Amino acid sequence: MEPLRHARLSRLGGTGAAPAAGRAERRRRRWGAEGLTAYGVYLPADNDVLLRFVDGRPVGALTIQFLAWCVERLAARGKTALLLVWDNAAWHVSKEVRAWLRAHNRRVKAAGTGVRIVACRLPVKSPWLNPIEPKWVHGKRRACASDRTLTARETAERACAALGCAYEPHLALPHHVPLFSPSGSGSE
């Protein structure tokens, strides 16, 4: 997600269409009411994927945690910018996420070091424009191909193996969600 490196934040296993009633019930029994969400960043120049999971739905606070985690990893690799290619999902365009991105980029500019984030939104209903989409499709197929029902953890571990990345602990909201502070990281 630096120049010439692309990213995608996406829900694992979904097509965007509402599932049939039977499928929705099986999903609730398997993963709980909310499901399993994957946040991912594809780095084509390094042929690498950074992947984190969430038990439940993606929300702005979790998106901020993921972005903060990504910039830490990219800074350690010596990267200076992150190009986000994403759709207009609510957790991408929320006021909280936009404010965090502005504050983060101001801090990086003022400090003269760090990883800037440039968000490039895709037109509506055009996922094929995102360079990570083929990786998601093949990774989902390999992760979900099983003759039995997989647990959320097994699915996450299989997705990491399929995409060639390390399994990381799931992102979670703190019990007490702190108010957003433009001067802070937003992921206290």
pLDDT at 15: 33
CA angle in degrees (0–180, nearest 5) for 170-175-177: 95
Q: Are 131 and 47 in contact (CB under 8 A)?
A: no
For 86, residues 6+ apart whose C-beta sits below 8 A from its C-beta are 7, 8, 9, 92, 119, 120, 121, 122, 130
C-alpha closest to that of 173 among 20, 64, 50:
64
Q: Report the amino acid identity of residue 154.
A: E
CATH of 7-163, one of 3.30.460, 3.30.420, 3.40.50, 2.70.98: 3.30.420
Listed by start position, the domains of the chain span 7-163
pLDDT at 3: 31
pLDDT at 175: 62
Mean pLDDT by 10 residues, the chain (188 residues): 33 38 54 70 88 88 94 95 86 91 97 94 80 80 80 88 91 67 52
